[in-house]
Chains A and B, each alone.
Chain A
Amino acid sequence: KAGVTQTPRYLIKTRGQQVTLSCSPISGHRSVSWYQQTPGQGLQFLFEYFSETQRNKGNFPGRFSGRQFSNSRSEMNVSTLELGDSALYLCASRTSDSYEQYFGPGTRLTVT
C-alpha cells in the first residue's frame, strides 16, 4: 500500500497570503489528523477529520481550517499567514478501529 502523501513538500509564502496543503491518506483510512511542528512549540495537534466531519480541534486560531472529501483526502488552509506559521505541517491517517496513526513526510511552509 502507498503511504500517506502530502503535497506540496515545500512552500514559500508571504505574510498576509493564504495557503492550502493537501493530504492523501493510506487507502482505506478514513481518519486524517493534522499537526504543526515548530522548534519552539514542538508537535501540536491541529484537527482531526473522519468521514468528512471535524471530530476534534486543537488550540489554534480560526485562520487554520480544514476539510475532508468523500474519498478521505484532506486539505488544510491557513489564511492571512503570519511569520509564526512557518512550520512543518504533518498529516496522519488511520483506520476507524485502530489507534495506529501513520504520518506523511510533511509540508515545510516558510512564511517571509
Chain B
Amino acid sequence: GEDVEQSLFLSVREGDSSVINCTYTDSSSTYLYWYKQEPGAGLQLLTYIFSNMDMKQDQRLTVLLNKKDKHLSLRIADTQTGDSAIYFCAETDSGGYQKVTFGTGTKLQVIP
C-alpha cells in the first residue's frame, strides 16, 4: 500500500528558510500536496504539484518533486513565527477518487 514518510520535527530561526521533506512509495501518485495544521484547527491546503512537474513556486513557498527518488520538499522562504504549525505531505492514489494518504506530519517551530 501507499506510505508517506516525514521527519517529525524541524526548528528554524525567524527569517531563515525552512525545508520540510517527504518521501512516498506509490509511484503512480497523481497529485502531491502540502497542508498546514495549526493547533486546534483543520488542515489548510498550502499548495500541490502534479506528478509530471518538478517544481512549483507560490510566493514564499517552493515545492520540489524528484519523481525518480519519490521525494517531495517544501521550502518556506523568510520563515515567520506565524508559520509555526504541523505540515503534512499527502498524495492521491492512482484511482483518482481522492483517497488521500497523509504523511506523519512535521512540526515546524520558528524561533524568534
Contact = CB atoms under 8 A, between A and B. Distances in A.
Interface of A: 4, 31, 33, 35, 42-45, 48, 55-56, 58, 90, 92, 94, 99-106
A33 B42 CA distance: 13
A99 B31 contact: yes
Given A42-B104, A42-B105, A43-B88, A100 B45 contact: yes
A44 B92 CA distance: 13
Given A31-B98, A105-B41, 14 more contacts: A35-B102, A42-B102, A42-B103, A48-B97, A48-B99, A56-B95, A90-B43, A99-B48, A100-B45, A100-B48, A101-B100, A103-B42, A104-B42, A105-B42
Interface in B67-96: 88, 90, 92, 95
5 contacts: A35-B100, A43-B102, A58-B99, A103-B35, A106-B41
Q: Chain B binding site: helix, strand, loop or mixed by DSSP?
A: strand
Given A42-B104, A42-B105, A101 B42 contact: no
Measured as residues with beta carbon below 8 angstroms from the partner, the interface class of chain B is: 20 to 34
A39 B88 CA distance: 14
Contacts of B31: 99
B30 A99 contact: yes
Contact of B43 (A44, A56, A103): A103
Contacts of A35: 100, 102
